[in-house]
Structure 1
């Protein structure tokens, strides 16, 4: 039996590449199917989204992945997202990701290699940036690692730490957020293998381990996470591609199943979803198989709230494809798709 009821989803897209901005959709709980209800192009290139639910309703936040870099808030109670106030500069260039942390927004600014902090007001509107933590360093890749490139930022499961994944310096930075001042301070750094280009990170549901997906080499780095000490310890790497794959492949997103038994990655270029099995120790990931992503250039993956379906935002084919997940093997099976030009991410309310 499928889930019953209707949920909501929101899709980000690149307006500079023909996208429609932020697309709102309803989710059929029985089939997982998406049906568009409206869209807003009020913000340029809203490449990544985040949701917050409070007493006043649900607020959607988006980064504007542009040279000047900004965030904006949207009221999503109606069929189409409606801006709440004006866009707010992040004081960083090319933000690629944002997350909610203790009443603040934090953004990963790829082009400038920094992480910004913005407070959230009483109506859900973002305020002016109160802190910008600049990363430093380089990596061995001659083009992609000439300087820092913060790509992903998120709080750990305890909410005590904020982790920033930097593709340009092969490091994950662990930071503490001063909620009073609205500033991040560097607590520690974890160096990964030079040249791997870490892009995104996902925690195991138990909170004891984290999995870093690398973009410049198609591998996954398994790490142990000590939340008390704020220490991330690399344990080993696993390929997210089968042997013999040729041509450039750029992994983009990593997602862990709700039961902690499986993990999926999106692989651009190979245009696949990799299925990996996690053992009971959570410290070994084994590639099970890869399946077609249902389109081209999968930039993002997301689980539905029940953890029964996987959704791929395929940027270059312009669609979001959904898959039913085999609960025993973790293998996704294509179930449908929705047209979404230049799709960059998908999230669920």
Structure 2
């Protein structure tokens, strides 16, 4: 078994409605699933780090600072794995940034801004310098649209922005518009040009997507309809074509909002966190690769599981309301098992593991 794995966790802070301190460093024991805070790496104070991402080089970690005047921050990784802030937080290009990713070139930072009841969802692009530090906001695109769910879909709410596996298109998932926007990124200017808009089931509230390893299928966690949608992805046009929908939980009658979604590198399984049922649901992928069949649901190790990420044969589950970070071992069947107690991380919502 490899040595303990360093994991960085982000938590809501008092100024963003939580009890966390910002960024916390923990060690994951791959043999047992035990997670413990690293006493040699003190917490890093930062406001509301609601999503984390790492530069392809592993030298820099980024976070969104979720507030109405949204910003993004960058941290250089030190030889011991600790994080040190570099540069100043930069405007994210919108309100309440909730997701950030790095373009595969390592030259651009992409941020999804959820917006507010009156401010639309947007996607911001930042240029990264040779050290991976954000230096300027080069573009902001504003989403248009709405959905039928009162109180959640009067306007657009960008919730995730990722680059497809071939690097052709940048996809932005919008919960408020029931849509996935596809953009071409001009890698010289850092600007986005809309290539396609794929409308999904009205009222489903798409939150996050995960690509199948082959890149031809996308799985979407539908926050508002408590489902998981399977869609065929056209790599030539950036469009998505719905194929299937599966309930995210078997706990029928329990108000539930799917949060994080992960597809296995082998392509056989998909996992989704269920906020309400407080489980992580495991699904088997059909032979055709675009339909899901439930395998099992495992308690999430706490309450209100939000973030979900892969690390050393485990899924790390950020249980926001209980303030617990659990490591669930992935079994050969795709089912999950918790073998060690969850670690206490107040208001934890996301993690990143940097190789």
Q: For structure 1, which segment, 19-28 or 60-69, has the greater mean C-alpha deviation from structure 2 after superposition?
A: 19-28
Instruction: Give the superposition deviation at 1:43.
Output: 2.1
* Structure 2 Cα separation of the partners of residues 63 and 209 of structure 1: 28
- Residue 209 (structure 2) aligns with: 201
1:160-171 map, 5 Å: 160-171=168-179
Indicate conservation of the 8 Å contact 1:89/1:128, yes or no: no
1:85-124 map, 5 Å: 85-101=87-103, 102=105, 103-111=107-115, 112-124=120-132
* Structure 1 Cα separation of the partners of residues 72 and 274 of structure 2: 27
Instruction: Give the superposition deviation at 1:58.
Output: 1.5
- Residue 287 (structure 2) aligns with: 280
- Residue 141 (structure 1) aligns with: 149
Q: Secondary structure at the match of 2:182?
A: strand
- Residue 318 (structure 2) aligns with: 313
TM-score, normalised via structure 1 length: 0.94
Query: Aligned-residue CA RMSD in angstroms?
Result: 1.4
Instruction: Give the superposition deviation at 1:96.
Output: 0.3
- Residue 239 (structure 1) aligns with: 247
1:289-304 map, 5 Å: 289-304=296-311
Structure 1 stretches of 4+ moved >6 Å: none
2:339 matched to 1:338? Answer: no
- Residue 53 (structure 2) aligns with: 50
- Residue 31 (structure 2) aligns with: 30
Indicate conservation of the 8 Å contact 2:195/2:237, yes or no: no
The count of aligned residue pairs is 341
- Residue 262 (structure 2) aligns with: 255
1:157-196 map, 5 Å: 157-196=165-204
Unaligned runs of 5+ in 2: none
Unaligned runs of 5+ in 1: none
- Residue 72 (structure 2) aligns with: 71
* Structure 1 Cα separation of the partners of residues 330 and 93 of structure 2: 40
Q: Secondary structure at the match of 1:129?
A: strand
Deviations 1:203-260 (A, max 9, x none): 0011111101100011111011121232211112111111x62232111011111211
Indicate conservation of the 8 Å contact 1:149/1:167, yes or no: yes
2:107 matched to 1:128? Answer: no
- Residue 271 (structure 2) aligns with: 264
Indicate conservation of the 8 Å contact 1:15/1:41, yes or no: no
- Residue 219 (structure 1) aligns with: 227
* Structure 1 Cα separation of the partners of residues 301 and 45 of structure 2: 29
Distance 1:156 1:216, change over 3 A: same
Distance 1:39 1:165, change over 3 A: farther
Q: Secondary structure at the match of 2:339?
A: strand
